[in-house]
Amino acid sequence: MSETFRYKLTLEYDGSSLVGWQYQTNGPSVQGLLEDATRKFCPAYNPAESRYVAAGRTDAGVHALAMVAHVDLPQEVEARRLCEALNHFLNRGPVAVLEAEPVSQEFHARFSAKRRAYRYHIINRRAPLTLMRHKAWHVKHPLDTDAMHEAAQQLVGRHDFTTFRSVQCQSRSPVKTLDRLDVRREGENIYVETSARSFLHHQVRSMVGCLYYVGLGKWSKQDLKEALEAADRTRLAYNAPPDGLYFTGVDY
């Protein structure tokens, strides 16, 4: 492969109609849409030689406010032009490029990341969702957010998160260090904010699902602690749907 030029991109996307970050044959993906757009303004670009790499691989239905990715291009492009060209060929679809900047070959969107952050959005009301359909988890029954936040603090720190790990997770170890897990309410909106260097597959959704049980009064703070300590996926209370999950940022 001849000389290439690496670019760091900050992306926003609506995951409602996407199969997730990674390219798949059964529907549109963030990676696939970006690669198709790139080939249209840079014919020499070959995805087989240089795929877009993201800070995190989001699942189908999951959204991003500030996902970071990198790509190696066979030609040098002014950052503003790259951003505008990609957005032009993305054609007002579910993916948009917020920023683009040239970086050294040492930068890696995934391996250079020091901390990733997610937000989970619950709308807690009786009425069905209209504007926020597929953008938040609709929960009709009242949730005790104070109890949820208090219970959540037991998950902060270094733990074996096997209970909150998808059976399809490919991570070598279930042990992760959770830096933050906060629950707050703003009217009918409930936000669960979390950050860590890395997460297991479905970890955030699984943690939210268990906190949901706490909010309903079905689980106590002790029940959540025991589920964590069991390190057993069958002890999971619930896996929250992807609709309310947003990748919000990454630190390098």
Write phi, then psi, for 237 (nearest 5 degrees). Answer: -75, -50
Is residue 159 within 8 Å of residue 230, measured between CB atoms? no
Is residue 5 within 8 Å of residue 76, measured between CB atoms? yes
State yes or no: is 59 an active-site residue: yes
- Of 14, 59, 72, 179, which residue is the catalytic one? 59
Mean pLDDT across 15-26: 95
Are both 176 and 216 inside the same structural domain? yes
| Average predicted confidence (pLDDT) for the chain | 97
Are both 12 and 120 inside the same structural domain? no
Task: Give the residue from 103, 129, 160 where a domain finishes.
Answer: 103
Q: Is residue 99 part of a domain?
A: yes
Are both 97 and 152 inside the same structural domain? no
Long-range contacts formed by 215-221: CB under 8 A, 24+ apart: 215/143, 215/144, 215/145, 215/147, 215/148, 216/141, 216/143, 217/144, 217/147, 219/151, 220/151, 221/147, 221/150, 221/151, 221/154
Residue 1: predicted pLDDT:
54
Residue 95: predicted pLDDT:
98
Are both 84 and 41 inside the same structural domain? yes
Are both 190 and 228 inside the same structural domain? yes
Q: Is residue 151 part of a domain?
A: yes
pLDDT over threshold 60, residue 131: yes
The CATH number of residue 145's host domain is 3.30.70.660
pLDDT over threshold 90, residue 166: yes
Q: How confident is the model at residue 170 (pLDDT cuts 50, 70, 90)?
A: confident
Are both 216 and 136 inside the same structural domain? yes
Task: Give the residue from 103, 138, 170 where a domain finishes.
Answer: 103
Closest among 86, 122, 80 to 101, alpha carbons compared: 80
pLDDT over threshold 70, residue 3: yes
- Reduced to 3 states (helix: H, G, I; strand: E, B; else coil), residue 182 is strand
pLDDT over threshold 60, residue 145: yes
The DSSP letter of residue 128 is: P
Q: Is residue 182 part of a domain?
A: yes
Are both 240 and 127 inside the same structural domain? yes
Task: Give the residue from 68, 103, 138 where a domain finishes.
Answer: 103
Are both 73 and 181 inside the same structural domain? no
3 state SS for 226-248 = HHHHHCCHHHCCCCCCHHHEEEE
pLDDT over threshold 80, residue 97: yes
Are both 172 and 68 inside the same structural domain? no
Are both 137 and 89 inside the same structural domain? no
Residue 62: predicted pLDDT:
98
Residue 2: predicted pLDDT:
78
Are both 145 and 193 inside the same structural domain? yes
3 state SS for 68-126 = EEEEEECCCCCHHHHHHHHHHHHCCCCEEEEEEEEECCCCCCCCCCCEEEEEEEEEECC
Q: Is residue 110 part of a domain?
A: no
Are both 125 and 41 inside the same structural domain? no
In which domain, by residue range, is 20 found?
5-103
Is residue 197 within 8 Å of residue 116, measured between CB atoms? yes
Please state the domain count of the chain: 2
Residue 180: predicted pLDDT:
98
